[in-house]
Amino acid sequence: MEHKYDFGLVGLGVMGRNFILNVADNGFTAFGNDLDTEKVDALIKEGGNPKKVNATTDAKIFLDALSTPRKIMLLVPAGKVVDIVIENLLPNLDEGDIIIDGGNSFYTDTDRREAYLSKKGINFFGAGVSGGAKGARKGPSIMPGGNREAYRHVKPIFEAVSAKYEGEPCVAYLGPKSAGNYVKMVHNGIEYGLMQLTSEIYDVLKKGGNLTNDELHATYAKWNAGRLQSFLVEITSKIFQQKDDLGDGRLVDKILDKAKQKGTGKWTSQNAMDLGIPVPSIDIAVSMREISALKQERITADQLYERPTVECMDKEKLERLAEESLYFSFIITYAQGLHQLADASKEYGYELDIAVIAKIWRAGCIIRAGLLADIAQAFQADNNLPNLLLSPTFVEKVQSTVNAARKLVSYGAVNGIPLPGLSNSLTYFDAYTSTRLPLNVIQAQRDYFGSHTYERMDREGIFHTEWE
């Protein structure tokens, strides 16, 4: 093939097709590959010009069509499929070619693949892509990490196709090894937390204020025009308006309350425990999806136990408390996720710049929010900031909203409305800002039954007591 293409992409599902068309829209030629003939044909038809966008089911034709060093992105399901695709490509690759995993691969898999391919002279890096199918088409947030020199070859393409925030591309080289996939994993963990919180606030407004779907739409839309401006608040406002095309009423009232998950939230939570970093707002978001799956048991349990009769609150007061509580808990959730990133960077040698990460999340990705501009500024002012709650900029934001969270959590507890994300955010805040916690008793217990020793407040050293 005489005509060589700038960029190759394997996996022409909705995300892959949209991403490759985005590449072509931004001045680069792109060639796709998929085993499914229908997906190949669909891309060629939508691309319109085979010199700009083309595709094939044949791996060798695909590789021969690419300029060198070949820049090949994989948008295929995480796990074994990635390894299978790599093995299929390897026999026809040349030294210096670049493979980019754009899926939600577990970070240790990325480290393994990079080590394996580097021995064969092939550059490999992970690049998390956030924004869903629409983002892939119009501009996602992209989180690449791996070989810095290899990224330089892809940088112009990624900067062209990424979302833009006030003209700045929402993509940046994040660090070596699996830095990109790790950042995307924690991004998704934060996403779990924010989604749980927006759903809880909906629940308390509906049960405690009897807000209709139209009122819920108006409330979330108003919030999205203020300091809670974010993709998730925006789409939630729209969800309440969607009519049910299979029956009467609004669709939201017909959707089964069982939330599924693909694992990235769980990975974030598990790894945070490995690192010893508390992320309870993310932890409970994962747990609530698991509780939601127990639908039949929940129905049975609901019939066994009495619940309080909900005492409705004045709508205006409830909406104010809800807005302040959601803002407070959003800050806490971001703080937890970014704390995990800062600690993981030291543990795994990622060299992450938290301000840069906050910047590339300002547009394109699922957790994009107006709040991220303030977060980026906080970490720019102090790039060694261990936790967002220690930023002078955020002290006032939290101080002015935490009392609303206390009132709403109390209201939920008294009225039997579960607010686990908000409760965990508040508990985390109270614990993190406490000079003294009751863990001295736990240390005494551990020493009592297991001779595990303890430290003292009044002198240096490690101590053990023969307890009476």
Contacts of 404 (CB under 8 A, 6+ apart): 320, 321, 323, 324, 325, 328
Can you tell me the mean pLDDT for 155-162?
A: 96
Beta-strand pair 123-130/141-146: antiparallel
Question: Which CATH number is associated with domain 7-173?
Answer: 3.40.50.720
Q: Assign a CATH topology to domain 184-433.
A: N-(1-d-carboxylethyl)-l-norvaline Dehydrogenase; domain 2 (1.10.1040)
- Whether residue 131 is annotated as binding a ligand: the answer is yes
> What is the model's pLDDT at position 1?
52
Read off the pTM: 0.95
184 is catalytic: yes
For the segment 14-36, what is each residue's pLDDT rounded down to a tens digit?
999 999 999 999 999 999 999 99
- Whether residue 130 is annotated as binding a ligand: the answer is yes
Place of tokens 């003939």: 37
Average pLDDT, the chain: 95
Question: Which CATH number is associated with domain 437-467?
Answer: 1.20.5.320
Can you tell me the mean pLDDT for 51-79?
A: 93
7-173 and 437-467 agree in CATH topology: no
191 is catalytic: yes
| Pair of tokens at residue 68 | 């060198």
From CA 216, how far away is CA 328, in angstroms rounded? 20
User: In 119-250, which residue ranges form alpha helices assigned H by DSSP?
Assistant: 132-138, 148-161, 179-209, 213-224, 231-239
Contact (CB, 8 A) for 185 and 104: yes
- Whether residue 167 is annotated as binding a ligand: the answer is no
Which residue out of 114, 177, 191, 359 is catalytically annotated? 191
Percent of the chain with pLDDT over 90: 91
- Whether residue 48 is annotated as binding a ligand: the answer is no
For the segment 184-221, what is each residue's pLDDT rounded down to a tens digit?
999 999 999 999 999 999 999 999 999 999 999 999 99
- List residues bridging with 171 in a β-sheet: 142
**Domain-by-domain residue ranges, the chain?**
7-173, 184-433, 437-467
Which residue out of 39, 71, 177, 184 is catalytically annotated? 184
**In which element (H, E) is residue 30 found?**
strand 30-33
For the segment 347-388, what is each residue's pLDDT rounded down to a tens digit?
999 999 999 999 999 999 999 999 999 999 999 999 899 999
- Whether residue 49 is annotated as binding a ligand: the answer is no
DSSP letters spanning 83-136: HHHHHHHGGG--TT-EEEE-S---HHHHHHHHHHHHTTT-EEEEEEEESHHHHH
- Whether residue 247 is annotated as binding a ligand: the answer is no
Q: How confident is the model at residue 259 (pLDDT cuts 50, 70, 90)?
A: confident
